[in-house]
């Protein structure tokens, strides 16, 4: 049985990151059925960056006034049509095999209700050097929660 996947990306003022985020979903070896992006009232250029993806029918774009991430995620869950839901923050990226691996684990063990991966933290190169100097990221991937 082939499970369909819905990806939810909440966006709020993520202009420096959202293009790479969406591209990481589009580059998956196991493509999702749908990508739902909700622009949560961004005041930066996020909407301008995301709109061309909607015009090409690569994502479903919804935009509204800012209500916060919890409200945004709940709204997005009402829109999904896939069997599985994957969440991705607009300032994060996925490795290309992420969805394939998670679906494989879920199919191999029907008792699983959820499947989490590992994350590799990084420092945004756009941050000022003095801020970067005060941030410590783990060297190795760590379990996501």
pLDDT tens digits for range 4-18: 999 999 999 999 999
Superfamily of chain region 5-113? Spore Coat Polysaccharide Biosynthesis Protein SpsA; Chain A (3.90.550.10)
What's the pLDDT score for residue 60? 97
What's the pLDDT score for residue 94? 95
pLDDT tens-digit readout, 73-123: 999 999 999 999 999 999 999 999 999 999 999 999 989 999 988 888 888
State pTM to two decimals. 0.91
pLDDT at 1 over 70: no
- The domain locations on the chain are 5-113
Element (H, E) at 50: helix 46-55
Residue matched to tokens 């996925």? 94
What's the pLDDT score for residue 2? 83
pLDDT tens-digit readout, 17-66: 999 999 999 999 999 999 999 999 999 999 999 999 999 999 999 999 99
The conformational region for residue 57 under phi > 0 = left, psi -120 to 50 = alpha, else beta, is: left
Where residue 143 falls among pLDDT bands split at 50, 70, 90?
A: confident
pLDDT at 145 over 70: no
The answer to whether 70 and 86 are in contact (CB under 8 A) is: no
Element (H, E) at 22: helix 18-26
């Amino acid at each position: 049985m082939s499970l369909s996947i819905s990806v939810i990306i909440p966006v709020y003022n993520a202009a420096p990151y959202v293009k790479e985020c969406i591209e990481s979903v589009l580059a998956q070896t196991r493509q999702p059925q749908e990508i739902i992006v909700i622009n949560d009232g961004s005041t930066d250029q996020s909407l301008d960056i995301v709109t061309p993806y909607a015009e090409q029918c690569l994502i479903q774009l919804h935009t509204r006034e800012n209500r916060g991430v919890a409200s945004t995620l709940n709204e997005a869950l009402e829109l999904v049509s896939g069997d599985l839901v994957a969440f991705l923050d607009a300032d994060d990226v996925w490795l290309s095999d992420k969805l394939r691996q998670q679906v494989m684990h879920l199919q191999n063990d029907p008792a699983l209700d959820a499947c989490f991966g590992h994350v590799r933290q990084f420092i945004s190169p756009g941050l000022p050097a003095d801020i970067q100097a005060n941030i410590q990221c783990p060297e190795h991937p760590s379990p996501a929660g």
